[in-house]
Structure 1
Amino acid sequence: MSGLRDRMNRLRGNSASEDTKMFEEIVNERVENEAVSEAEAMVEAEEHIDEAEEVLSPKWKKLGVQLQSNETGQFLLRKIVYPLDYQHGTHTLSELGLVAGKLKAFHPGDDKTAEANQIMFLDLETTGLGVGTGNVPFMVGLAYQGEDSIIVEQAVIRHPAEERAMLAYLAEKLNDYTFLATYNGKTFDWPVMQNRFILNGFHRGMWQPLHLDFLHPARSIWRNTLASCKLSHVEEERLGITRLDDVPGSLAPQLYFEFLATGDPDTLEGVFRHNEIDMLSLVSLAIRFGHLLDDMEAATFLRPDQPEEMVRTGLWLERMGSYKLPDILFEQVVRSEIAAPSALLMLAARDKKAGNWGRAVLLWQKVIIHSSLAYGIYSIEACTELAMYYEHKQKDFQTALQYAREALEHMGSQPLQRRDKKKSAELEALRKRISRLTGKAERYGYLK
């Protein structure tokens, strides 16, 4: 009888005393009024409780959670509908429809078009951090565009037996979409889901989406300009989103295990809200990257204002096949008086590869002029590049030798660099270059 009471407690969210009282009332009433045996009354009580399981406790309903059933079992589902005019930080959700097509640049070789209603956003809350079979997604967050809204769904399991029903629901729903949008989903979220689908027998005809993993462009653009590329940090620094009293995602497993121990749905309230904001932020991030890929010259507020971020944004856009905005950003960097040597060298490397030697030389010279002693390491690279340029492109061996010697002088002011094997190799290569250039300069009469 105690096992049945525990089962009632887990599934219905009632206290142990309430469960005991309910069970005993059912049994006693049948035994006294119907003259049945206690064993028969217990069977009938269990049937009564099975029916009662279909009704969730008020605590679940307060969270907006409903019971979902399919042919494989039951799980919980929370659905929140946001109108398209809802503003999440800088962006309004309706903007997704305007720029979704530009996200096709993530898959240029595929003939499928990217439309807002074909993108499924996904974010998991799991029992651990790995992608192995022991890591179970207890909450699967989805977001997608309806006719006039963005819909966020959160599928939740109260215990492992409900996972198969949840996966059956997801397998059917995901097949209606072409693109999967995540943040680090290629490495984590989607491999975890694939493992769970396979383990539960849903591997046949498994969904094969075109993936839009926004972590990769976030790192490409903000790697050195933001303290962290975590979604919560990116949304605060670049999307105008501020979370209040947010439960960190790292605490989600601990809170879920606490829920399993107590059966109290209130334990998961913060996890629901954290995941919900994650889903909206994913939509906002899709909008931001879509705008950048759209080369929106008029939307100046979207453009980066830090030189290094300008360069990194332009480089990412060029890799994605977009060239109009990069040209604008690169020219702003060249004219900037505050651009760090690292940003100038990054752009110079791009120009060297593209054969834009005029601007590359200008940038290397600018690095040398603006580099202080603290930036000696950048002057070494700039001088070395100029030495190679004048030797191989201009055949001006005297100027090449001057830059090579200047690079050696800067390298001598960085004694710690000599302890590094790579730097030691570079020092030796520079000395050989000076020796070679000295010989060429003497041969052609530049030196006496």
Structure 2
Amino acid sequence: MSGLRDRMNRLRGSGGSEQAVENADVAARVMDEQAAIVQEIEEDIEQLSPKWKELGVGLQTNETGQFLLRKIVYPLHHRHGTHTLAELELVADKLGAFHPGQTQGAMANRIMFLDLETTGLGVGAGNVPFMVGLAYQADEGIIVEQAVIRHPAEERAMLAYLSEKLSDYTYLATYNGKTFDWPVMQNRFILNGFNRKMWQPLHLDFLHPARSIWRNTLISCKLSHVEEERLGITRHDDVPGSLAPQLYFEFLATGEPMTLEGVFRHNETDMLSLVSLAIRFGHLLGDMEGATFESPDLPEEMVRTGLWLEKMGRYKLPDVLFEGALRSDSPAPAALLMLAARDKKAGNWVRAVVLWQKVIILSSQAYGSFAIEACTELAMYYEHKLKDFKTALQYAREALEHMRSHPLQRRDAKKSAELEALRKRITRLTGKAERHGLL
């Protein structure tokens, strides 16, 4: 840089002399060489550290400024856990069930997958996405892009790139993106003046079906748990997403690119897992036609999957799943109660009663709360549907006995209210039974 500065000073001296001004050829030469020196300076400033290149990161420049971009191409035959990426093409149209009003199903090359690494947890103006992960299908396979800013001044250039990129897609696929990722991005677009042409996607938020299906059968519905327990994906030496902000602040303090290596890897796995999750839900919505994995076999998961599919307008696979749950050697009381509630809503009282009675038989000390619900439902059925006040009273008293055998439940405000309501029901049923000469 000092050599360039000396050359600039010498040229300024010759360019400012009277002789150079009079000689057009000399002046032109001076201007050309000055421009070349300025270009060398800019290139020297923009040159990335070799460590960025080790991470596969390059410099991206547009009319707004510059930022960093990492791009990885995965061939469609690449297997990520249980699924190959090529399966997205086979099931993408089934994902249109998330938006039933659409006349055309989703296509694989019209879905943009998004996952953010941010400086905080909220969606307010102070939370900045320092890494924006994208994944989309192209001719060469699934492409994962990771846009990164080295400092706040690069955010506008990154957003300009994203604004143009996202507009080519119809669907946005995320995990909790409706609550977090997309609101954060919308805030950043607005704050940087891109709100006039903001993208309006059809959202596919896979957290909601994951909770509907797995909330009681998995320890957690975090993406890392879902992918390990249901998608066959194992992470090695993974950096938890919760540490990403801390690592980014460390990078800001030191300027060391390798500080972010684990964050790049974590985000990249998240993107591929989102694609795999889209494939999984697509297969379920397609009634498992052509699927290479087994359908759910845990009774509660079978029922929850069936109920979610019915909510999405699918009815073929749910019937199979419900029957499988009922035939299970160890049916779960929770699953039976959900099926009974479904039958009650449909007016299928005969099977609902059988299911409630089965729950009572199956319930033990560990399942007392299920027995309470089943007894209460039967008490209501016999009181209001059959006007059999004596049988209704028997079930109400049985519910009270189950509740008394679980004293810890009475410490909960909701359980206390239920206990009080049950006592009032018993008092009312006792009066009705006495007036009809049943006691």
Deviation string for 1:119-166 (max 9, x for gaps)?
A: 000011112211111111111111001124111111111222111111
Partners of 1:82 and 1:182 lie apart in 2 by: 19
Residues of 1 paired with 2:387 and 2:12: CA distance? 111
Distance 2:311 2:196 in 1: 35
- Classify 1:431/1:156 alpha carbon distance in 2 versus 1 (closer, same or farther; 3 Å): closer
Whether the 8 Å CA contact 2:82–2:293 is kept in 1: the answer is no
Tell which deviates more after alignment, 105-114 or 173-182. Answer: 105-114
Q: Helix, strand or coil for the counterpart of 1:134?
A: coil
Secondary structure at the aligned position of 2:401 is classed as helix
Q: 1:234-270 CA distances to partner (integer Å, 9 max, x unpaired)?
A: 1111100011111111121222222222222222221
Aligned twin of 2:153: 161
Give the TM-score of the pair, scaled to structure 2: 0.89
Q: Would you say the 8 A contact 2:94–2:105 is kept in 1? A: no
User: 1:57 and 2:49 equivalent?
Assistant: yes
**In 2, Cα distance between equivalents of 1:290 and 1:267:** 37
The one-letter code sitting in structure 1 at the alignment partner of 2:115 is D
Q: 1:382 aligns to what?
A: 374
1:250-329 residue pairs with structure 2 within 5 A? 250-296=242-288, 299=291, 301-329=293-321
2:379 counterpart of 1:370: no
Q: Check if 1:213 corresponds to 2:205.
A: yes
- How far, CA to CA, are the matches of 1:254 and 1:439 in structure 2? 66
Amino acid at match of 2:43: E
Answer whether contact 1:159 1:260 (CA < 8 A) is retained.
Answer: yes
* 2:115 aligned counterpart, secondary structure: strand
Q: How does 1:331-410 map to 2 (within 5 A)?
A: 331-410=323-402
Is the Cα contact below 8 Å between 2:119 and 2:245 reproduced in 1?
Answer: yes
Distance 2:432 2:199 in 1: 64
Q: Deviations over 1:215-249 (max 9, x none)?
A: 11111111111111111111111100011111111
Change over 3 Å in CA distance of 1:260–1:427 after alignment to 2: closer
Deviation at 1:400, TM superposition (A): 1.9
Instruction: Give the number of equivalent residue pairs.
Output: 422
User: Match for residue 225 of structure 2?
Assistant: 233
Residue in 2 that maps onto 1:17: none
1:14 corresponds to: none
Indicate the residue corresponding to 1:177 in structure 2. Answer: 169
AA matched with 2:2: E
1:13-32 pair list within 5 angstroms: 23-27=1-5
| Alpha-carbon distance in 2 for matches of 1:408, 1:254 | 52
* 1:47-126 matched pairs, under 5 angstroms: 48-126=40-118
Distance 1:361 1:164, change over 3 A: same
Deviates more, 1:70-79 or 1:411-420: 411-420
Structure 1: tracts of 5 or more residues without a match: 1-22
2:70 corresponds to which letter in structure 1? Answer: R
- 2:231–2:276 Cα contact (<8 Å) kept: yes
Task: Indicate conservation of the 8 Å contact 1:27/1:42, yes or no.
Answer: no
Partners of 2:355 and 2:207 in 1: how far apart?
Answer: 30
CA displacement at 1:57 relative to structure 2? 2.8
Structure 1 window deviating more from structure 2 (283-292 vs 331-340): it is: 331-340
Partner of 2:122: 130
Alpha-carbon offset, residue 286 of structure 1? 0.4
Report the Cα offset of residue 195 of structure 1. Answer: 1.0
Q: Which amino acid aligns with 1:94?
A: A
The one-character-per-residue Cα deviations of 1:336-380 (angstroms, maximum 9, x if unpaired) are 232232222222222211222222111111111111123222212
Deviation >6 Å, runs of 4+:
41-46
What runs of 5+ residues in structure 2 fail to find an aligned partner? 15-32
TM-score (norm 1): 0.88
Farther off after superposition, 80-89 or 108-117: 108-117
Cα offset, 1:107, TM superposition: 0.9
Out of 116, 133, 138, the residue aligned to residue 146 of structure 1 is 138
Percent of aligned pairs with the same amino acid:
80
- Name whichever of 397-406 and 187-196 sits farther off: 397-406
Cα gap change, 1:63 to 1:358, in 2 (>3 Å): same
The residue aligned with 2:186 is 194
Letter in structure 2 aligned against 1:24: S
Distance 1:45 1:259 in 2: 31
Distance in 2 (alpha carbons) for counterparts of 1:393 and 1:293:
37
One-letter amino acid of the counterpart of residue 287, structure 1: I
1:20 aligns with none
Determine helix, strand or coil for the equivalent of 1:296.
coil
- Show the counterpart of 2:238: 246
How many angstroms does 1:95 deviate by?
Answer: 0.6
